[in-house]
Amino acid sequence: MPDKPRVILDSKQLELTINRLCYQLIENHDDFANSAIVGLQPRGVYVSKRIHEELAKMTGNKNIRHGALDATFFRDDFRTRETPRIPDVTELNFNVENLKVILVDDVLFTGRSVRASMDALLAFGRPQLVELLVLIDRRYTRHLPIMPNYTGKMVNTSLSERVSVEWKETEGKDCVKLHTVKK
Amino acid sequence: MEKKLSVDHLLGIKYLTKGDIELILSTADYFKKVLQQPIRKVPSLQDTTIANVFFENSTRTRLSFELAEKRLSADVVNFSASSSSVSKGETLIDTVNNILAMKVDMVVMRHPNPGASMFLAKHVKSKIINAGDGAHEHPTQALLDAYSITRKFDVPHLKGKKVVIVGDILHSRVAISNIYCLHRLGAEVMVCGPTTLIPKHISALNVKVEHNLRKALEWCDVANMLRIQLERQDIKYFPSLREYTMMYGVNKQLLDSLGKEITIMHPGPINRGVEITSDVADSGQSIILQQVENGVAIRMAVLYLLSGKSTIGG
């Protein structure tokens, strides 16, 4: 039986967090002339869209490169599944060669999707630099040596817990919840 | 999102649901994008071994399957009957079981006998993909034809579209698979050709029959021109190739006189100057080369959707 979920970021806190992440990005990427923001399908795209919109407001630059990347074909769990995963759309309307690419995801858990995404990205060329931005970093759950460059919030979780990021566009409200599933 | 085909093998379009066909076509869209990337390869099937077992000659289907397999990073072994023990009298089951004993996960097979792939699927523990069995079915060709039409018109299904299949329907596995596939997606289908090359009971498949090419072309949105399979004709079905071309060959003059623009398809190989003239095959109305390009994406989608954790035997 699942417990009542605990809100770990409400809509105001989420907005502040996104703003802070944007300022951190501006510190490192200046006017984004040589950078691109790439959301990881399916849920990272919501974060990247929000960040892209905020950056446009903050910097006045409406031409910051933005794309979506799907790593389904690059996952390492393909042969262990009963049913194949159906991919989402990849939209990279720019050449990643020599760009500074910021991969964006909502929750960093085992690190396996980020690993697959890096492979998927390299199929499009050789970026100068790849960084990782995550809204929620779940500690103590990593299977691979992957660390984010920008973190919205670090959360201590166990394997029986689940983090969900909800958005106005899809769930009607911006918030991040922690669900505990009792054994 | 996870979705699955309702079948373990691809033996024919007859056994697929509308949902299966739509799943294959939509998955092919993603693979078409992969084929346009700078690195046109994904590691999805990197621990899968696929045997291409061809008991009959084939150039493009075999090449297309092999490319699809390699683009998915599968290991590929090729087998052709002419250079094998089949000529020494080995049976089909023995041949394939010997290949499978070398730990092959999937078999892509073309065979001159109708039902050969169904027979194999019943008797060996492997996933079977039919790459053409006699005059029975050629499912991947029908899927890539349907895919090419939907993407040409930019529509999700073929409701209201009229497709005519012209030529040697009697010996054609492409025609049968196309009829099933087009019907599942909602298209109306007509066959056109000389009486001798149209099976007697074809109307039982709910297709219109027309013997006048002009009338058929005036009716349709898409014309799929089939090759005259001289190698399968043990008796004369028409007086001469020249007469066939006069009655059933499509040329630019005929197309221009229709008063509307129809799309021309051909599964290949083309007999230029027989079923279609060169100016038609190379015109803007023809999507023959797109069909070939789409073939790789469709075959990647089929292989991808049929692989995954095996539910069959070991």
What's residue B232's pLDDT?
Answer: 65
Size of interface A-B (CB pairs under 8 A): 67
Average pLDDT on B205-215 reads 95
Q: Dihedral, CA atoms, B238, B243, B247, B251, nearest 10 degrees?
A: 130
Contact B75, B51 (CB under 8 A): no
Task: Please report the sign of the dihedral spanned by the C-alpha atoms of residue B209, residue B210, residue B211, residue B217.
Answer: negative
What's residue A121's pLDDT?
Answer: 93
Q: pLDDT below 70 — which residues of chain A? A: 1-3, 79, 182-183
Nearest CA in chain A to B72: A73
CA distances from A148 to A115, A167, B106, B313 (A): 12, 22, 40, 43
Lowest mean pLDDT among B39-43, B177-181, B215-219, B220-224: B39-43
Question: String of b and e for B109-146 (b: at least 16 CB within 10 Å)?
Answer: bbbeebebbbbbbeebebbbbbbbbbbbbbbbbbbbbb
pLDDT tens-digit series, residues B242-301: 899 999 999 999 999 998 999 999 998 898 999 999 999 999 999 999 999 999 999 999
pLDDT band at B1 (very low <50, low <70, confident <90, very high): low
Residue B215 to chain A, least CA–CA distance (Å): 42
Residue-by-residue DSSP string for B224-239:
EEPP--GGG-SS-SSS
pLDDT tens-digit series, residues B36-78: 888 888 998 988 899 999 988 888 899 999 999 999 999 999 9
Is A81–B2 a contact, with Cβ atoms under 8 angstroms apart? yes
The alpha carbons of chain A give a radius of gyration, in whole angstroms, of 16
The alpha carbons of chain B give a radius of gyration, in whole angstroms, of 19
Is A84–B4 a contact, with Cβ atoms under 8 angstroms apart? yes
Is A79–B308 a contact, with Cβ atoms under 8 angstroms apart? yes
pLDDT at residue B231 is higher than 50: yes
Nearest 5 degrees, angle CA A100-CA B35-CA B183? Answer: 135
pTM: 0.86
pLDDT at residue B3 is higher than 90: no
Distance (Å, whole) CA B165 – CA B266: 10
pLDDT at residue B92 is higher than 90: no
- Which strand (E) or helix (H) includes residue B254? helix B252-256
**CB contact B308 to A (< 8 Å):** yes
Best mutation target among B36, B309, B311 (most A Cβ atoms within 10 Å) is B309
Spell out the domains of chain B, with CATH numbers in brackets: 13-138+293-306 (3.40.50.1370), 140-287 (3.40.50.1370)
pLDDT at residue B82 is higher than 80: no
What's residue B68's pLDDT?
Answer: 96
Spell out the domains of chain A, with CATH numbers in brackets: 12-157 (3.40.50.2020)
The beta strands (E) that lie in chain B are given as 49-54, 75-80, 106-111, 127-133, 162-166, 188-192, 208-210, 222-225, 263-265
Chain A residues at the B interface, defined by Cβ less than 8 Å, are 42, 70, 72-74, 78-90, 119, 122-125
What's residue B311's pLDDT?
Answer: 46
Interface of B with A in 246-275 (CB under 8 A): none
What's residue B314's pLDDT?
Answer: 37
Neighbour count for residue B93 (Cβ, 10 Å)? 13
